[in-house]
Structure 1
């Protein structure tokens, strides 16, 4: 994958030389504030206990553990989407999209290179968030390493597939903020980030099942919070990978037409 490796190295070099650390801190604060405010709410309002309804829906009473996994998964999703989906529209804004389109490089390896860089960058930020959670006493007493690894792979695949579709839509529309923020809002509300999506109305739950991030988060929670082995997580894992494949194929089908439309709009 020479194209993917070259893209990763280029992005790493550019970012390491001119990366706004204040922006990185701001992104990290999303997870820090989510966990911190949840800690205060649990102890100052809830008296350190959770409702029986929450325990029944989640299979456990570890509220802070639930929030920490959700906050880490959400920050991972947001940061990966920010890097991966903005790859093509960044080229468009810099005026290099036309040169990229005529270059002898496949679009999928190029996007995989961006995603590889995003994965390395995001892993550091999620690690820092995990350290903050540990300072507040959040622990994962029961977790299965192999199942957890499968959950991370599933979430990465889900976010990458959604990013390909989103990237195609953004270069057609010529904008990024509204499109990305809409996806971020949908993920935060529908995918069980800070509360079980079983609390949602039935139509919203059906909509949540159409997003591969939902099933990926279920795998992560069951692996990290419940310690379930990989065999028990297979149904949700298969659902996530099937949806991710569908999104990826849709995105790759949309990209050629989206690129032509983007070039036409530039004239």
Structure 2
């Protein structure tokens, strides 16, 4: 825990001094534009109603609530992945990866420190996005707080597990943008962010089930939109945790080899 806390404090201090407010505003605008444009499309194009097909697939006609949950979860996922997965490649770019590897600090606590900072930072941004949604009259009347909290924690665990695998891939490849953007695109298309993944062809739906974000989204939507309790959501919650544990184990197994490969490439 001392390593995780020290990493969190260092990252918080560096970010507060180095990153301009425009960066945070730009990140927030993605979610705001998603919700805002969906609001305009519903009322200006759809006449305030949704197709019966959408209602049948989602179990409700609250299109804007569906979009708001998806936009908030996607912002959460992207921001968490950005910070957590780029921890090691940032050290590599700064020339400090070798020093980090020989330091008497475990890799998992170090990564947890980055993730703790990302969680604190992202919760604030998602809260602001929720405030914007509230200004448009978007509400979640059937919210189950305990189940929703479980969904958020499951999503955070799922994203952290993915970030460990992605971080190992990035330091081996020596690049971040293509790897990260590929994962972001896959999550946005497959995991039911802005439309039900039941619209996807069968192979894509099967691929979506291999990503723990998909089951985490099911838990969040069930808790926030349909008032489902923990007992009802337990199967999807367990699926998310099992997949997340698998990704985390895979990441921790391949990370030492990825670090060695990254050091070899630097010489």
Match of 1:3 in 2: 3
Give the distance between the partners of 2:100 and 2:81, measured in 1 at CA: 21
Quote the offset at 1:23 in angstroms: 1.3
Give the distance between the partners of 1:149 and 1:127, measured in 2 at CA: 14
Give the distance between the partners of 2:194 and 2:229, measured in 1 at CA: 23
User: Following TM superposition, where does structure 1 have runs of at least 4 consecutive aligned residues deviating by more than 6 angstroms?
Assistant: none
SS at match of 1:139: coil
Match of 1:201 in 2: 201
Please, what TM-score do these two structures have when normalized by structure 1? Answer: 0.99
Output one character per residue of 1:114-157: Cα deviation in whole Å (capped at 9) or x when no partner.
Answer: 00000000001000100000011100011100000000000000
| Structure 2 residue 218 is the aligned partner of structure 1 residue 218 | yes
Match of 2:159 in 1: 159
Give the distance between the partners of 1:55 and 1:249, measured in 2 at CA: 38
Quote the offset at 1:227 in angstroms: 0.9
Match of 1:146 in 2: 146
Match of 2:115 in 1: 115
Match of 2:230 in 1: 230
For these two proteins, the number of residue pairs brought into alignment is 267
Match of 1:169 in 2: 169
Give the distance between the partners of 1:27 and 1:193, measured in 2 at CA: 17
Give the distance between the partners of 2:20 and 2:125, measured in 1 at CA: 14
Output one character per residue of 1:180-226: Cα deviation in whole Å (capped at 9) or x when no partner.
Answer: 00000000000000000000000000000000000001100000011
Q: Could you list the runs of 5+ residues in structure 2 that have no partner in the other structure?
A: none
- Bigger drift between 22-31 and 164-173 goes to 22-31
Please, what TM-score do these two structures have when normalized by structure 2? Answer: 0.99
Quote the offset at 1:21 in angstroms: 1.4
Match of 1:260 in 2: 260
Q: Could you list the runs of 5+ residues in structure 1 that have no partner in the other structure?
A: none
Give the distance between the partners of 2:123 and 2:171, measured in 1 at CA: 27
Output one character per residue of 1:47-104: Cα deviation in whole Å (capped at 9) or x when no partner.
Answer: 0000111001000000000000000000000000000000000000000000000000
Match of 1:19 in 2: 19
Give the distance between the partners of 1:150 and 1:227, measured in 2 at CA: 13
Give the distance between the partners of 2:207 and 2:243, measured in 1 at CA: 13
Quote the offset at 1:20 in angstroms: 2.0
SS at match of 1:240: helix
Quote the offset at 1:17 in angstroms: 1.4
